[in-house]
Structure 1
Amino acid sequence: MPVVVPVKFAFAAHELWFDPRDLDILAGDHAICTTERGTEIGLVTADPFEVHPEELAAPLKPVVRIATDADLDRADDLADAGEDAMFDFRRLVEKNGLDMKPVGVEYLFGGEKAVFYFAAEDRVDFRQLVKDLSAHFHVRVDMRQIGVRDETRLQGGYATCGQELCCTRFGGQFEPVSIRMAKEQDLPLNSAKISGVCGRLMCCLRYEFEAYKDFKSRAPKKKTLIDTPLGKARIVEYNTPREQLVLRLENGKVFRVDLADMTSTEENRQRCEAQGCSCRPDCVTRDVLERLESPELALALMELDRKNGVDVGDGLDTADRIVASGPTPRRKRMREEEAAKFEQGGSGRRGRKGASSKGRSQEVEEEQAPQQSRRRRRRSGAAEQAV
């Protein structure tokens, strides 16, 4: 089988396969290759590998050589020249009054020509622009119109998730994305939330589409009633990454259960066989509820057993029980004696306290009596002098 090596070029939308010949080329190397446009330098993205001959759409072209330091320096100079040419590219577009947006300029490694990339909504007549560009840059000019997704890929940037743009990160191999993929993943159909920087639907909508599609093909539909030991439960939500369903009982209790733990009743199996459709689970057994280790579900199951006449005790494990022994007769007698002594001692203290308070009041009255008599004598003497 033929051996190929994938090479990614700066302005190309996808990788190209080349014949590595007998070169010791590995992933991460830069290679000089001959393409339909001319001589170009690209990055080797993987080690050489074998492919089936039917996978080759055209005969393989060989890798010219592994890029040297001088080749890398020349590639950097050509990239800088392309950035410098953008100013004159915009100026000449404005001069000709064309409805286009300049995106980038690429000088081929071999110097055969320069490729000018632009974005436009409609077809543009740029014949005069080509003449002006060729006369100004003294090089063969090739004009390439690209879409908004390719424009975003070339300019680069970051998405709302904080990661580098998918089109830039994964080489710009665009796959069709439809609004149906957003619906299948239960995403809000708000254009601002499901559109990327380019204004089109985000590429990442396709990544998990197959997983959501597969899960929903095996799981019961939302709002379906599921049989449980605690009664009917309705499916209110999906958790597709974990393959779980959120169920709500008639009493309002909510719990999660794995799709793999759900089973189908015999009646459901027979009905699906008669209709010739795939059988989806419609039952959750008691073992599954007990494995959830939910206190609310455990109490509900215990109450159900009590109603059915099953002796479940108080529902406590041996480790959770607290053994409380009552007081012994001797301890009880000692407590009664201490209580009696306390009462007797309290009344005695209250009596002594009352007597002492009475004695102190009498002493105060005796001390205040002479003072009152002296005041009276002073007042009477003052009255006689006044007379």
Structure 2
Amino acid sequence: MILVVGIRFKKAGKIYYFDPDSIDVIKGQNVVVETSRGIEFGEVVVGPKEIAEEDIVAPLKKVLRIATVEDELQNKQNLEKEKEAFSTCLEKIDQHQLDMKLIDVEYTFDNNKVIFYFTADGRVDFRELVKDLAAIFKTRIELRQIGVRDEAKMIGGIGPCGKSLCCATWLGDFEPVSIKMAKEQSLSLNPTKISGICGRLMCCLKYEHEMYQRLREGLPEAGEKVITPDGPAIVIENNALLECAKVRSILEEARDGKEQKLSDDIKVYDKSAIKRTGCCNGRMKREEEHLDEEIINLED
């Protein structure tokens, strides 16, 4: 086991582990640490704790010191300089007529580098822009292209639920979100209902995914042929929370080029009363696959 502290450099940013060395740090303190980018200023969000060595990336960088008054002032000055750098970069982007959108600017704590975050639909030739910025700021310049989810995280906003975006307030890391998660929660596959302001699938689809997976164990899928107490039927919808399925009875099986004939009546059965056959209604399956193609661009 090894003693570590968790440090965050941005609000809702990723938490990184550091070696506190002999420094007595506590949660909530600001500290100065050594990173791969150089010296950085951050906040302790996870107090000292022991974790297994295999759970960290060795060797751990060290906490250099608890932030002093001078460090706090330096960080405040950096934040002010970032605002000025943002305005300057906007002017230069307009001057060079570049098709890019500036999102954020970040000074490293020691001022050895200024990082400009931007979005663009394709590749951007910003070599002349970098030269101009380097001449103005007299330091290393990095232009970093980010995706739409990172843009939403940096800018912030209000989600469809009416609350501040999870990614901008507390969600440290983005996790993969798929259309399958929306299906398993029986949500409408309307893009406007399941996408966030970033235009991608909402991160919150992931939160209850494991619970829905457990509830859906043994539950037949839509389009699946099952045996009910009233005979063979085709599942048209299922409900994981109620652990039941809606079905239409099979009146006539498909044969001699004729399609399967189903009843108009819909019945509901608990999953314990249904026997699965493993067979599937091909037409319903094709309709689902076609629907996936219409909203596949919502996935990362």
Query: TM-score normalised to the size of structure 2?
Result: 0.74
Secondary structure of the equivalent of 2:216?
A: helix
1:144 maps to 2:144? yes
Q: Hey, what does 1:111 align to over in structure 2? A: 111
Cα deviation, 1:23-81, whole Å, max 9, x if unaligned, reads 22122221111111111111212112222222222300110111234422321221122
Separation in structure 2 between the aligned mates of residue 68 and residue 120 of structure 1, nearest angstrom: 39
How far 1:82 sits from its partner (Å)? 0.6
Contact 1:7 1:17 (8 Å CA) reproduced: yes
Q: 2-side partners of 1:237 and 1:126: how far apart?
A: 52
Give the distance between the partners of 1:253 and 1:188, measured in 2 at CA: 20
Question: Which structure's relative contact order is higher, taking Cα pairs within 8 Å and 6+ residues apart?
Answer: 2
Tell me the alpha carbon deviations over residues 323-359 of structure 1, each in whole angstroms, 9 at most, x when there is no partner: xxxxxxxxxxxxxxxxxxxxxxxxxxxxxxxxxxxxx
- Which letter does structure 1 place at the counterpart of 2:5? V
User: For the residues of structure 2 that align with 1:75 and 1:114, how far apart are their CA atoms?
Assistant: 14
What is aligned with 2:202?
A: 202
Q: Which has the larger radius of gyration?
A: 1
Q: Which residue of 1 aligns with 2:40?
A: 40
* Alpha-carbon spacing, 1:186–1:166, altered in 2? closer, same or farther (3 Å): same
- Equivalent position of 2:214 in the other structure: 214
1:238 Cα deviation from its structure 2 partner: 5.3
In structure 1, C-alpha distance between the alignment counterparts of 2:11 and 2:127, rounded to whole Å:
23
**Partner Cα separation in structure 1 for residue 138 and residue 55 of structure 2:** 40
Q: 1:256 to 1:133 in 2, by over 3 A?
A: same
Partner of 1:62: 62
Q: Distance in 1 between matches of 2:273 and 2:191?
A: 39
Task: List per-residue Cα deviations over 1:201-224 (Å, max 9, x = no partner).
Answer: 111111222222221113355696
SS in 2 for 1:84: helix
1:20 deviation in Å? 0.9
**Counterpart residue number, 2:164:** 164
Q: 1:240 to 1:48 in 2, by over 3 A?
A: farther
1:25, 1:69 → 2: CA distance?
A: 16
The 5 A counterparts of 1:300-379 are none
- The residue identity in structure 2 corresponding to 1:9 is F
Cα distance between partner residues in 2 of 1:169 and 1:239: 32
The verdict on how the C-alpha distance between 1:226 and 1:23 changes in structure 2, with shifts beyond 3 A counting, is: farther
How far apart, in 2, do the equivalents of 1:86 and 1:98 lie? Answer: 15
Match runs of 1:257-336 below 5 Å: none
Q: Which residue of 1 aligns with 2:85?
A: 85
* CA distance, structure 1, for counterparts of residue 42 and residue 144 of structure 2: 19
1:271-307 Cα distance to aligned partner (Å, 9 max, x none): 99xx9xxxxxxxxxxxxxxxxxxxxxxxxxxxxxxxx
Query: % of aligned pairs identical?
Result: 42
Point out the structure with the larger helix share. Answer: 1
- 1:106 Cα deviation from its structure 2 partner: 1.0
Alpha-carbon shift at residue 84 of structure 1 (Å): 2.4
TM-aligned CA deviation for residue 163 of structure 1:
2.0
Structure 2 vs 1, CA of residues 217 and 95 (structure 1 numbering), >3 Å: closer, same or farther? same
2:106–2:114 CA contact under 8 A, matched in 1: yes
Note the C-alpha offset of 1:147.
1.2
Determine if contact 2:219/2:243 at 8 Å carries over to the other structure. Answer: no
Greater per-residue strand proportion: 2
Code of the residue aligned with 1:16 in structure 2: it is: Y
Note the C-alpha offset of 1:155: 0.8
Residues 227 and 233 in structure 1, CA contact (< 8 A), matched pair in contact too? no
SS of aligned partner of 2:58 = coil
- 8 Å contact from structure 1 (residues 107, 113) kept in 2: yes
TM-score by length of 1: 0.59
SS at match of 1:48: strand
1: CA distance, partners of 2:221 / 2:121: 42
1:165-180 equivalences under 5 Å are 165-180=165-180
Aligned residue in 1 for 2:283: none
CA RMSD of aligned residues (A): 3.3
Q: Are 1:72 and 2:72 counterparts? A: yes
